[in-house]
Amino acid sequence: MNGLPRIIWYYLVTKYGRKFNSRTSLINWQNQQVMSFLKQVLPKSSFYRKYYQSLNKYFDHNLNIHEWRDLPIIDKSIMMENFDDLNTVGIKKSAALEVALSAEKSRNFAATLNGYTIGMSSGTSGNRGLFAVSQSEQQAWAGAILAKGLPQPITTPQRIAFFLRANSNLYETVNKQRIQFQYFDLFKPVESHFAKLNEYAPTILVAPPSMLRLLADAKNNNILNINPIKVISVAEVLDPLDEVYIRKSFNQIVHQFYQCTEGFLGYTCEYGTLHLNEDILVIQKEYVDRDAGKFMPIITDFNRRTQPIIRYRLDDIITERKMPCRCGSILIPIESIEGRRDDIFYLPSKIEDKLIPIFPDFIRRAIIIASENIQEYQVVQKSLDVIVISLKVATEVYEPVKILVTQSLHNLFNQSHCRVPEIIYQEYEVSTIHHSKLRRVRREFSV
Ligand SMILES: [Zn+2]
């Protein structure tokens, strides 16, 4: 089985084969999946075998790991340091890096090494991640994406407009069927897409929120006349301000795919609530603030054997949702993906000699609640005592809005018992070209 049949197979398995009626049955199923996965993968990965060596108590003589949920965690830097011994197919880091870098340069992201697709993810602190996936792992991923993302069964014709960094032969595989994919280059100016989009009339629109926002502008100005039945935000944090704007412009819920090189972690149900994809991989929580329900996900993906991801901690901060979702799914609902841990602001305490973390969500809300005249914004922490803010607001209200924003942030900082930093305002720059991911709240120095 290969290519399209395999994608359809995974589509069917994800959509219809994994219905759990309780958390217990889900957890039992995950345990079975992970234990059989470890049994297959550990003998092939010398890194993990060594890493778990001192943990004999976890292993019985059949190499079963019952307590796998407590195994030591890894992260991107550990994965990169041990790349050669960690993957199970003998790929060398130096060769993979060469392939990935030349793919970035030529913008041909279909690059492969020994038949494995090589991908690279960037990190703020400069630590790049390298990822190797087999064809069948990619097809499983595509099947899962379709199962979660399509608003109707796969037999219903759809035209999907997909804004990506580069095309992939994966989409062309599916293209021959009723589901059509049209790739739009994220690096081209937004105006260059209007004519093609109008002609194509997508039923599903997938793009980063910063691009969705530009398309929403064009739709509001009657330059763009598309009416997708599903709008999906990917690749960037969906800011509540952008969510409202995009939702109103397209008159559709803004759905989200929480997806990164490490895995397909979450999707929104029909009510627009994000649920973790616990029916595809295991996601454990490492709390950074238990009272506020903020955690970093630790993922174990029992489908990836090429480069096994076992108890891998992502740098993202996720906020739990307190209320259950109306859809009745047993998959954990979440309130928001806040962004990277690197974007947490740190300010000196007024009382003690320590730094106080301020989560991106709190900054975001402080800005948004300050005034409804704010169309767009960016907040950058430059140092422990300087924050730079740029606001897009109508000229006539700019000065009063500035005062309200400053006041709102002062309130937040005072409530958090930190020293109030200097706040500098700069002009808001609108870019219609995607050079990098939009992060409205970010920190530019390391703590
Ligand atoms: Zn739901």
Rg (Cα) of the chain, in Å, rounded? 23
| Dist. CA 239 → ligand 1 center (Å) | 19
pLDDT at 250: 98
26-35, 91-100, 147-156, 166-175: least confidently modelled range: 166-175
Residue with token string 């870019």: 431
- pLDDT > 80? residue 64: no
Q: By the 8 A CB rule, do 438 and 208 touch? A: yes
| Dist. CA 253 → ligand 1 center (Å) | 13
| Dist. CA 271 → ligand 1 center (Å) | 6
| Dist. CA 329 → ligand 1 center (Å) | 6
pLDDT at 376: 92
| Dist. CA 267 → ligand 1 center (Å) | 9
| Dist. CA 273 → ligand 1 center (Å) | 5
| Dist. CA 8 → ligand 1 center (Å) | 24
CA–CA separation, 197 vs 295, rounded Å? 39
Structure tokens given for 32: 């079975």
pLDDT at 120: 80
| Dist. CA 270 → ligand 1 center (Å) | 7
Q: By the 8 A CB rule, do 118 and 130 touch? A: yes
pLDDT band at 2 (very low <50, low <70, confident <90, very high): low
| Dist. CA 331 → ligand 1 center (Å) | 8
240-254, 321-335, 429-443: least confidently modelled range: 429-443
Of 259, 159, 154, 143, which is closest to residue 199 (Cα–Cα)? Answer: 159
Of residues 102 and 176, the one with the higher pLDDT is 102
pLDDT at 112: 85
- Provide the residue type at 89 as one letter: V
pLDDT band at 4 (very low <50, low <70, confident <90, very high): confident
| Dist. CA 145 → ligand 1 center (Å) | 17
413 CB neighbour count, 10 Å cutoff = 22
| Dist. CA 326 → ligand 1 center (Å) | 6
| Dist. CA 168 → ligand 1 center (Å) | 30
Q: How many degrees, rounded to 5, is the angle at CA 180 between CA 178 and CA 183?
A: 170
pLDDT band at 174 (very low <50, low <70, confident <90, very high): low
Residues 287-337: tens digit of each pLDDT? 999 999 999 999 999 999 999 999 999 999 999 999 999 999 999 999 999
| Dist. CA 321 → ligand 1 center (Å) | 11
Q: State the DSSP H helix or E strand holding residue 242, giving kind and residue range, or none if neither.
A: helix 240-250
| Dist. CA 166 → ligand 1 center (Å) | 31
Q: How many degrees, rounded to 5, is the angle at CA 436 between CA 431 and CA 442?
A: 95
Domains, the chain, ranges and CATH? 1-342 (3.40.50.12780), 344-443 (3.30.300)
| Dist. CA 315 → ligand 1 center (Å) | 25
| Dist. CA 434 → ligand 1 center (Å) | 31
CA–CA separation, 297 vs 300, rounded Å? 10
- Provide the residue type at 354 as one letter: K
Q: What percent of the chain has pLDDT over 70?
A: 91
CA–CA separation, 31 vs 429, rounded Å? 49
| Dist. CA 219 → ligand 1 center (Å) | 29
| Dist. CA 30 → ligand 1 center (Å) | 20
| Dist. CA 333 → ligand 1 center (Å) | 7
pLDDT band at 358 (very low <50, low <70, confident <90, very high): very high
Contacting residues for 386 by C-beta, under 8 A, at least 6 apart: 421, 422, 424
Residues 75-131: tens digit of each pLDDT? 999 999 999 999 999 999 999 989 888 877 777 766 789 999 888 876 544 567 889
pLDDT at 155: 87
| Dist. CA 236 → ligand 1 center (Å) | 21
Predicted TM-score (pTM) of this structure: 0.89
pLDDT at 125: 45
| Dist. CA 349 → ligand 1 center (Å) | 39
